[in-house]
Amino acid sequence: MSRRVRMGVLAAGLLATAALFVTAFLDMPHFGGAWHPYGDRAVQASVNRRTANTVSAVNFDQRGFDTLGEESILFASVLGTVVLLRQARDERTRAPRPGPVPAALRRYGLVALPATLLIGLYVIAHGQLSPGGGFQGGVVVATALHLLYIAVDYPALERIRPLGLYEVGDAVGEAAYVVLGVAGLLAGSAYLANVLPFGTFNTLSSGGTVPLLNAAVGLEVASAVVVLLARFLVQALEIEGGDGGKEQAA
Amino acid sequence: MSVFPYAVAGWIFLVGVYGLATSRNLVHAVGCLSVAQSATYVLLLAVGYRRGGTAPVFSDTPTTASVVDPVVQALALTDVVVGATVTALLLALVVQTAKRHGTTDPDELHELKG
């Protein structure tokens, strides 16, 4: 297909989609209006189950099964990346060379690392109370570990990051979510039902299964991000060669 | 002007698709896909907005306060996470394509190579 024909097809498709959007948007409820039937009911259900952060209540209680699906997409993506970025038969590895790090960056990294780690764990643990939860906190925890790579060097990161353990952590996080769902069945209710006592509103132990599911997701997300970044770092720093390889400037 | 935020979401989507279709570099194409996907965040949050509403978190506001819709916020949250990991998967594909074919221009990838 020539470039001209391609642009024509694209323009037709974009214009038709734009027309559909405009028709749909004109019929939608007005922006900022007071009519939110699902939102109002979700807030009511969340308060009844004593979960102060309604977003967490929606994700881990009312739509718990849906979040299992989202978590599985994450798990599958990480698995796919690990398979794609493995070392091919015609590639060699080399030991990464440590590079010079400015002293100020080193000091900043070593101060920021424990603080970031603590914030990440706090965000996971308070998912049922304040904005945050397993997804967000997990990313913060994984980021904290990689401050070591920025502030010191790659071998230092490798020392505190036994990759096998994080791969197990990823699987355990996913499995814990599934098993917590089965706990609902065993308690005589539905899969992923909130069967634990709801506790006192706005305390750390409120929300029933919400904090436990948050912890499972936090473990999975933190491990998944570490595994993902490790695969890309190995590609950039350790693997070289290969027959078809024309890049590999790193 | 009440459709303006929705129109912004539609515009972001169309711009992302345009970039995807005219892309000359696979890394750029993955970036464009992320742009197209981020239109859903804008649309979801625009749908859930309530004038004068605060965040749907009741740790420091009374439970009678007027809040924005938490359902669409939860949808946007999982969307962000899934989007980030799928982007990583696509970038891994680009790394392998670059290694095996020596190019990241989608127009030069004519045939499958073992």
- Does the distance separating the beta carbons of A247 and B3 come in below 8 Å? no
Closest CA to B59 of A129, A90, A183, A211: A129
**Contact map slice: A 31-90 vs B, CB within 8 A:** 31-34, 36, 38-39, 42-43, 46-47, 52-55, 57-59, 63, 66-67, 70, 73-74, 77-78, 80-81, 84-85, 88
- Does the distance separating the beta carbons of A244 and B99 come in below 8 Å? yes
CA dihedral sign of residues A136, A140, A142, A143: positive
A143 contacts chain B (CB < 8 A): no
Residue B112 and residue B96: Cα distance in Å, rounded? 13
Of A25, A31, A77, the CB nearest to B88: A77
Chain A residue numbers with beta carbons less than 8 Å from the beta carbon of B48 are 36, 39
Whether B111 has a pLDDT exceeding 80, the answer reads no
Chain A residue numbers with beta carbons less than 8 Å from the beta carbon of B17 are 13-14, 17
pLDDT of residue A205: 82
Chain A residue numbers with beta carbons less than 8 Å from the beta carbon of B40 are none
Output the pTM of the full model.
Answer: 0.87
SS3 A97: coil
CA distances from B54 to A40, A97, B43, B77 (A): 13, 51, 18, 17
Å from A179 to nearest chain B CA? Answer: 21
Closest-CA residue of A relative to B16 is A14
Nearest 5°: the CA angle A87, A92, A93 is: 85
Give the best residue of A6, A61, A70 to mutate against chain B (max B CB count within 10 A). Answer: A70
- Does the distance separating the beta carbons of B96 and A85 come in below 8 Å? yes
Give the best residue of A28, A61, A81 to mutate against chain B (max B CB count within 10 A). Answer: A81
Nearest 5°: the CA angle A13, A14, A16 is: 65
Residue A84 and residue B85: Cα distance in Å, rounded? 14
Of B2, B70, B98, the CB nearest to A39: B70
pLDDT of residue B40: 94
* CB environment A142-176: b (16+ within 10 A), e (fewer): bbbbbbbbebbbbeebbeebeeeebbebbeebbeb
B14 contacts chain A (CB < 8 A): yes
- Does the distance separating the beta carbons of A74 and B82 come in below 8 Å? yes
Report the amino acid identity of residue B93: L
**pLDDT per residue as tens digits for the range A169-220:** 999 999 999 999 998 889 888 888 888 888 888 888 888 889 999 999 999 9
Residue A136 and residue A159: Cα distance in Å, rounded? 25
Round the average pLDDT of chain A to a whole number and report it. Answer: 88
- Is residue B19 very low, low, confident or very high in pLDDT (cuts 50, 70, 90)? very high
In chain B, the domains with their CATH numbers are 4-51+65-108 (1.10.287.3510)
pLDDT of residue A248: 43
pLDDT of residue B113: 56
Of B63, B74, B81, the CB nearest to A58: B74
**pLDDT per residue as tens digits for the range B51-82:** 988 889 888 888 888 899 999 999 999 889 88
Residues of chain A with pLDDT below 70 are 1, 241-250
